[in-house]
């Protein structure tokens, strides 16, 4: 059954009440037409509950807008959803990526994440290429996808909205990695399912790293909003030497700040008995105390590491969940510890991530109870980093 407007209805009943499903829910392909976004293809999803989100076909099928009943969830940065044709990957010393950094999900990878790095290129067997030079967070997020399908599919009285495509990060004498991405949402539901496969389509032994920059904005993020996570210990903080001087801890969010230097934490998170790791940002005061939150659920075996990104600068106000295949010090650290991932021809890695709106205080309380049952997070905003780097399986 499909839940619409407080009622459980059959497929037939949906058909009886409108000429097409699109009156209530659906997926629609459109093209943005102005400014830096001009020419970007976009899929709009509406589940019928008030959950609306958009998928940028020409930006790696990343999720851009996300809102629930008019309340924004996904972050909109000043950069906008920039056409990838305007992107200069190696510009600004590797930081030009920031000029295309916006939206609920920005995918980082496929062969590099985190800060700039030069890696020996001997594995590509090309004498004129001495190094592989990577800018911040890799190349994939500004590569257009080949859209292989989208639409609605009924299974009995249940309807799933979906899209699927292939993002090819490929070059001659280098990597040939394919990201095969599928996004699903149930009609009548408040969840988004992200299913990724990264495949080495080429015949060179190729490194692989992946991170999702999942960015939540106001009003889920607001003064007093709380970060909930099953934290076993805080591994590292970018600002540890001036921990309290910044006046912002990991647990309770402040209002927009002026000025503010970004803060990044790596938390070592516990998983439930099914290997799932839920984290959330919740605003208990939203809408007069009704409450609104956003939950991200990953698998520990797929993303063993997770960072928390805080950018509370006025005009750029955001908090990010960053599930990652590797620790925060990136590729050189992974190589030193023997934790680098290499893919041979045909090798693949799969990732399944669930995103969910927490609608109201009851759903927030249930999520918090579930997270606390896995591990009780530090009750201070300034837990001492342990500096303990757990081994990655």
119-167 pLDDT, tens digit per residue, is: 999 999 999 999 999 999 999 999 999 999 999 999 999 999 999 999 9
Kindly tell me if the per-residue pLDDT of 393 is higher than 80.
no
Average pLDDT (257-284) is: 97
Q: pLDDT category, 246, cuts 50, 70, 90?
A: confident
| The pLDDT value given to residue 244 | 81
pLDDT tens per residue, range 22-60: 999 999 999 999 999 999 999 999 999 999 999 999 999
pLDDT tens per residue, range 156-191: 999 999 999 999 999 999 999 999 999 999 999 999
Average pLDDT (52-78) is: 98
Three-class SS string for the chain? CEEECCEEECHHHHHHCCCCHHHCCEEEEEECCCHHHCCCEEEEEECCCCEEEEEECCCCCEEEEEEECCEECECCCCCCCCCHHHCCCCCHHHCHHHHHCCCCEEEEEECCCCCCEEEECHHHCCCCCCEEEECCCECHHHCCCEEEEEEEEEECCEEEEEEEEEEEEECCCCCEEEEEEEEEEECCCCEEEEEEEEEECCCCCEEEEEEEEEEECCCCCCCCCEEECCEEEEEEECCHHHCCCCCCCCCECCCCECCCCCEEEEEEECCCCCCEEEEEEEECCHHHHCCEEEEEEEECCCCCEEEEEEECECCCCEEEEEEECCCCCHHHHHHHCCCCEEECCCCEEEEEEEEEEEECHHHHHHHHHHHHHHCCCCCCCCCCCCCCCCCCC
CA-to-CA distance for 334 and 328, rounded, in angstroms? 9
Bridge partners, 167 (sequence order) = 179
Kindly tell me if the per-residue pLDDT of 106 is higher than 90.
yes
Kindly tell me if the per-residue pLDDT of 88 is higher than 90.
no
| The pLDDT value given to residue 243 | 78
Q: Which two tokens stand for residue 118?
A: 């030069």
| The pLDDT value given to residue 242 | 82
Kindly tell me if the per-residue pLDDT of 71 is higher than 80.
yes
Q: What is the mean pLDDT of the chain?
A: 96
Average pLDDT (295-299) is: 99
| The pLDDT value given to residue 318 | 98
Q: pLDDT category, 245, cuts 50, 70, 90?
A: confident
Compute how many other C-beta atoms are within 10 angstroms of the C-beta atom of residue 302. Answer: 17
| The pLDDT value given to residue 203 | 98
Compute how many other C-beta atoms are within 10 angstroms of the C-beta atom of residue 101. Answer: 22
Q: Which two tokens stand for residue 189?
A: 């539901």
Average pLDDT (189-217) is: 98
Q: From 87, 27, 83, select the one nearest 55 (Cα to Cα).
A: 27
Average pLDDT (223-244) is: 93
| The pLDDT value given to residue 57 | 98
């Amino acid at each position: 059954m499909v839940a619409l407007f407080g009622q459980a209805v059959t497929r037939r009943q949906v058909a009886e009440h409108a000429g097409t499903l699109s009156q209530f829910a659906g997926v629609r392909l459109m093209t943005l037409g102005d400014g830096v976004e001009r020419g970007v293809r976009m899929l709009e999803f509406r589940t019928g509950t008030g959950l609306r989100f958009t998928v940028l076909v020409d930006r790696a099928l990343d999720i851009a807008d996300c809102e629930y009943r008019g309340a924004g969830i996904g972050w909109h940065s000043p950069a906008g959803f920039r056409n990838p044709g305007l992107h200069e990957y190696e510009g600004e010393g590797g930081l030009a990526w920031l000029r295309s950094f916006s939206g609920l999900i920005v995918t980082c990878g496929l062969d590099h994440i985190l800060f700039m790095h030069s890696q020996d290129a001997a594995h590509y067997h090309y004498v004129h290429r001495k190094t592989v030079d990577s800018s911040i967070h890799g190349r994939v997020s500004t590569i257009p996808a080949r859209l292989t399908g989208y639409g609605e599919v009924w299974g009995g009285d249940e309807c799933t909205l979906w899209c699927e495509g292939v993002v090819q990060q490929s070059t001659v004498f280098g990597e040939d990695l394919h990201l095969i991405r599928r996004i699903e949402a149930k009609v009548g539901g408040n969840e988004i399912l992200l299913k990724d496969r990264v495949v080495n389509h080429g015949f060179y032994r190729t490194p692989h790293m992946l991170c999702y920059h999942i960015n939540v904005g106001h009003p889920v993020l607001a003064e007093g909003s709380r970060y909930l996570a099953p934290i076993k210990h805080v591994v590292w903080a970018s600002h540890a030497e001036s921990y309290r001087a910044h006046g912002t801890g990991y647990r309770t969010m402040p209002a927009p700040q002026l000025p503010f230097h970004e803060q990044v934490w790596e938390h070592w998170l516990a998983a439930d008995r099914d290997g799932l790791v839920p984290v959330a940002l919740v605003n208990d005061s939203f809408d007069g105390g009704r409450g609104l939150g956003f939950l991200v659920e990953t698998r520990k075996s797929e993303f063993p590491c997770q960072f928390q990104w805080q950018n509370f600068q006025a005009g750029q106000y955001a908090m990010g969940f960053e599930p990652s295949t590797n620790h925060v010090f990136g590729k050189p650290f992974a190589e030193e510890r023997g934790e680098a991932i290499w893919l041979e021809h045909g090798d693949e890695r799969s990732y399944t991530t669930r995103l969910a709106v927490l609608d109201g205080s009851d759903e927030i309380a249930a999520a918090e109870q579930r997270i606390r049952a896995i591990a009780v997070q530090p009750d201070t905003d300034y837990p001492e980093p342990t500096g303990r780097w757990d081994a990655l399986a």
